[in-house]
Structure 1
Amino acid sequence: MVTVLIRWTWLRAGLHNGWWLVTSVYLVVDAGLSPAQLVLIGAAQSGFALVCEVPAGVVADTISRKWSLVISQVLMGTAMVTTGLVDSFPALLATQVLWGISWTFASGSDVAWITDELDQPDRITAVLARAARAELTGAATGLIVLGLLAWATCRDLTIVIAGVAMLSLALYVALRFTEHHFVPVRTARWSGSWTIFRRGISLVRRSRAIRLIFAATFLVNGAWSVGRLFQIQLIDLGLPTDPDPTIWFTGLGVAGLLVGALTLRVAGHRIGGTHARNDYALAATAGVLGTLLLAFARDPVAGAIAVVLISGIVKPLTQVIGTVWVNARTTADIRATTHSFLAQLKYLGEITCGLTIATIARLTTLPLALTACALLFAATAVLMHQRADRGAGRTGIHT
């Protein structure tokens, strides 16, 4: 079952990351969206996902983690296909919102599924770290394959092809994922769902460590608005237009993912251990340095180095540490719901901070908007030096 998870993670990462590479260029070059519109799309996407996240997590905890993932694949593939068929801002906004909603049925459901099906608590941290590395290597493969396909054909066609492939991945989940240890709520589902929701709230209220990682997730994902500004900043810095920009962004994306896989390989034994909090703070500090370098770079080479630093260290480390941190402090009956709470803080950070970054980008300059992102990374680093609950040591993650 671990192999099934790893293969699915690798395939999904390849498709959605390759799709996003081509889509990110499509939004700027073909659709001609402005920096403010790009960030506003992210904020709107996060807003709808925020509303749907906990209900989707409760569905996974009451009905099925496996079928929640199937729903996610279908919605995701549909959103990806339709993105390549439109080029107006309102239509693209709608497709990206649907894409955001699709993730709510997957966030936490995959972790909850493998944790319960494996039923070996001593192995789960290593499995999640391995899945994270597979996600990065799969993403690198997707960037190369779909990036080259977009260069050889056209961007909108590549976007549609990736979406169709993602739709077909729903069949893989339906046929290969088992669900032997999950017991669905068969009676009084509405009241049972409400009980699960309240248990999740109660857990968060009792655990200072979970509240700490929730706050850090809010800040670091608000700072990740920088990820939507990579392309336009590098183009402004003079990124060559020959060959096609897609090729340049493919190379940068692959470099960042390979650095991320190496980072997780080196830090793998520390992710669920006593250094998790310090590693999270160091990753946020790297975000400060990388974002400031990108903001005030004089040429595309310096900007490219900054992009690799941010995408290769900051994002993979903070995501994996946050997931393992929460997973170690929850129970099987509310696992997907608790991970949904974590995802809600991610979306809330993207909405509130993203709107602020969009306003700064629209009223001032792009370097100042990037500087604001760096300040959010700095706040995250400071926060993670705070002490969490003493019970953290019992889970293997000292805070």
Structure 2
Amino acid sequence: MTRLQRFSYAWYAHAFLRELVLIYPTSAIMMTGSGISPLELSSLFMIWGAAALLGEIPSGAIADLTSRRNILMVSGLMKGCAFLTWLAFPSYGGFAAGFIVWGTASAMSSGASEALLYDTLREEDATAQFSRIYGRAEASANLGVALALLIGGFVAEGGYPLPLILSAAAPWIAAMVLLVGIREPSRRTDALRSRTFVGTLRDAVSELRRNRVVAFVVLMLGVLGTLWGALEEYVPVFLDDRSDLRLGSIGIIFALAYAARTVGMASAHRLPGAPVPNAVRLFVIAGLILATTALPNGWWLALPIALYSGAAGAAAVLLQTRLQHGIEGPARATVTSAAGVVEGIFEFPLYLSIGLTAQLGGWQAAFTMIAMLTVVLSLGFRFFAPRELLR
């Protein structure tokens, strides 16, 4: 076995274990069961997003100045500590503290992971394999999430301490995999690193100001791409409210939605025509489908939720593809990350709206609101889109 093969297997194992968090499908139910109201639940998600957003800004610079492997290890250890915080302090303050730790851990891994992979491949003269290894690592992470969703609910039926402990153990083991199986690649010292960082930011801002197509797609991707990301946090409590399903069954429905999203994202490139009009159509269809959750109950709720997830996932891939084709300058990664910043900012009013709507009218009203918002925002972006994006 070559050194690159050993690295690849360790890299895939790390990605899988880091996302094998068994509390995923029932965390929101656990919190509401501890007396957290819908509005308080939304505020917790806002705290989580704020921690990640604030940490996103310096994370790239830190990754350039220190060991990226060590950063990822610390990130995994912190992620595990977040779930132990929930176990020790099952209250609003404890949940908020856990989300802050988790959000900070996510920000620390952002950028460092891709950079560590690329530097390792460059040292092995194998940068051409980046897309293959990166893609397989993402698939491994998705497999970890899917498995956690499938079995996490059943484990939680015996109480929340066990899934919380196992959720802490998985990213800790992932950190140990990095320690044992991944070697920090050598890097050249760059005396102008700080100036290069500032210059890259300047190039990104210049591109967004000069290229209206790129700026529009960044805004569109950041806003519309946030809808499912926010909605999925409420799927378990919505299903718990609308049906008499067991926690294990809720986890299965959640896993089906995740599987549908994976299929949609993998199949998006097969759609003929311009990416942006196709993305608008998919988001409109997704919104109309989500509105039908007002009709069925029980297992039938899996169908509209899964279809919304799949259609939104395919649309997000189309928008990301159009964005990458539109970027002309050297600051590709920084321009791409601008969509993440937009997403992080848009999450706050979105979480607040969902929480207020659910508090006043119930979880079905909140899901109907998201369905209407998906349709209205999609059509609004279609109306104001530059002509270059429509052909």
Question: Cα deviations across residues 200-258 of structure 1 (Å, max 9, x unaligned)?
Answer: 33343344344233212332254233223322322232323xxxx32112211222233
Helix, strand or coil for the counterpart of 1:87?
A: coil
Residue identity in the other structure for 2:87: G
Structure 1 CA distance for aligned equivalents of residues 26 and 142 of structure 2: 17
Residue identity in the other structure for 2:307: L
Aligned partners of 2:75 and 2:106 also within 8 Å: yes
Given candidates 231, 235, 241, the residue that maps to 1:230 is 235
1:208 equivalent to 2:212? Answer yes
1:266 equivalent to 2:267? Answer yes
Aligned partners of 1:58 and 1:196 also within 8 Å: no
Aligned partners of 2:266 and 2:314 also within 8 Å: no
- For structure 1, the 5+ residue unaligned runs are 393-397
The two structures have a TM-score, normalised by structure 1, of 0.79
Residue identity in the other structure for 1:57: G
1:141 equivalent to 2:164? Answer no
Structure 2 CA distance for aligned equivalents of residues 172 and 385 of structure 1: 49
Larger RCO (CA under 8 A, 6+ residues apart): 1
Helix, strand or coil for the counterpart of 2:24?
A: helix
Structure 2 CA distance for aligned equivalents of residues 389 and 180 of structure 1: 46
1:291 equivalent to 2:290? Answer yes
Given candidates 7, 29, 32, the residue that maps to 1:28 is 32
Helix, strand or coil for the counterpart of 1:154?
A: coil
Which residue number in structure 2 is paired with residue 99 of structure 1?
Answer: 102
Given candidates 363, 366, 382, the residue that maps to 1:366 is 363
Structure 2 CA distance for aligned equivalents of residues 109 and 93 of structure 1: 25
1:309 equivalent to 2:307? Answer yes
More displaced, 89-98 or 216-225? 216-225
Given candidates 79, 85, 90, the residue that maps to 2:88 is 85
- For structure 2, the 5+ residue unaligned runs are 1-6
Given candidates 167, 176, 189, the residue that maps to 1:171 is 176
Structure 2 CA distance for aligned equivalents of residues 373 and 144 of structure 1: 25
Structure 2 CA distance for aligned equivalents of residues 4 and 325 of structure 1: 33
Deviation at 1:39, TM superposition (A): 1.4
Given candidates 326, 338, 343, the residue that maps to 1:346 is 343
Which residue number in structure 1 is paired with residue 4 of structure 2?
Answer: none
Which residue number in structure 1 is paired with residue 203 of structure 2?
Answer: 199
Residue identity in the other structure for 1:136: N
Aligned partners of 1:112 and 1:336 also within 8 Å: no
More displaced, 207-216 or 176-185? 176-185
Aligned partners of 1:69 and 1:106 also within 8 Å: yes
Which residue number in structure 2 is paired with residue 248 of structure 1?
Answer: 249
Given candidates 57, 64, 71, the residue that maps to 2:74 is 71
| Change over 3 Å in CA distance of 1:79–1:22 after alignment to 2 | same
More displaced, 38-47 or 53-62? 53-62
Deviation at 1:179, TM superposition (A): 5.8
Residue identity in the other structure for 2:295: A
Residue identity in the other structure for 1:154: G
Question: Cα deviations across residues 252-293 of structure 1 (Å, max 9, x unaligned)?
Answer: 1222233233334433x449x975434533442343023212
More displaced, 62-71 or 117-126? 117-126
Structure 2 CA distance for aligned equivalents of residues 68 and 169 of structure 1: 13
Which residue number in structure 2 is paired with residue 395 of structure 1?
Answer: none
Structure 2 CA distance for aligned equivalents of residues 389 and 6 of structure 1: 42
Aligned partners of 2:222 and 2:340 also within 8 Å: no
Question: Cα deviations across residues 58-116 of structure 1 (Å, max 9, x unaligned)?
Answer: 33355455444333222212212222222111211121122122211223443454456
| Change over 3 Å in CA distance of 1:332–1:75 after alignment to 2 | farther
Structure 1 CA distance for aligned equivalents of residues 97 and 368 of structure 2: 29
Residue identity in the other structure for 1:134: S
Deviation at 1:159, TM superposition (A): 0.9
More displaced, 18-27 or 169-178? 169-178
Structure 2 CA distance for aligned equivalents of residues 49 and 388 of structure 1: 32
Aligned partners of 1:108 and 1:339 also within 8 Å: no
Aligned partners of 1:47 and 1:347 also within 8 Å: yes
Which residue number in structure 2 is paired with residue 376 of structure 1?
Answer: 373
| Change over 3 Å in CA distance of 1:25–1:5 after alignment to 2 | same
Helix, strand or coil for the counterpart of 2:109?
A: coil
Q: Percent identity?
A: 19
State which structure, 1 or 2, has the greater radius of gyration over its C-alpha atoms: 2
Structure 2 CA distance for aligned equivalents of residues 201 and 71 of structure 1: 31
Give the total of aligned pairs.
380
Structure 1 CA distance for aligned equivalents of residues 119 and 335 of structure 2: 14
Helix, strand or coil for the counterpart of 1:32?
A: coil
Structure 2 CA distance for aligned equivalents of residues 66 and 194 of structure 1: 24
More displaced, 253-262 or 157-166? 253-262
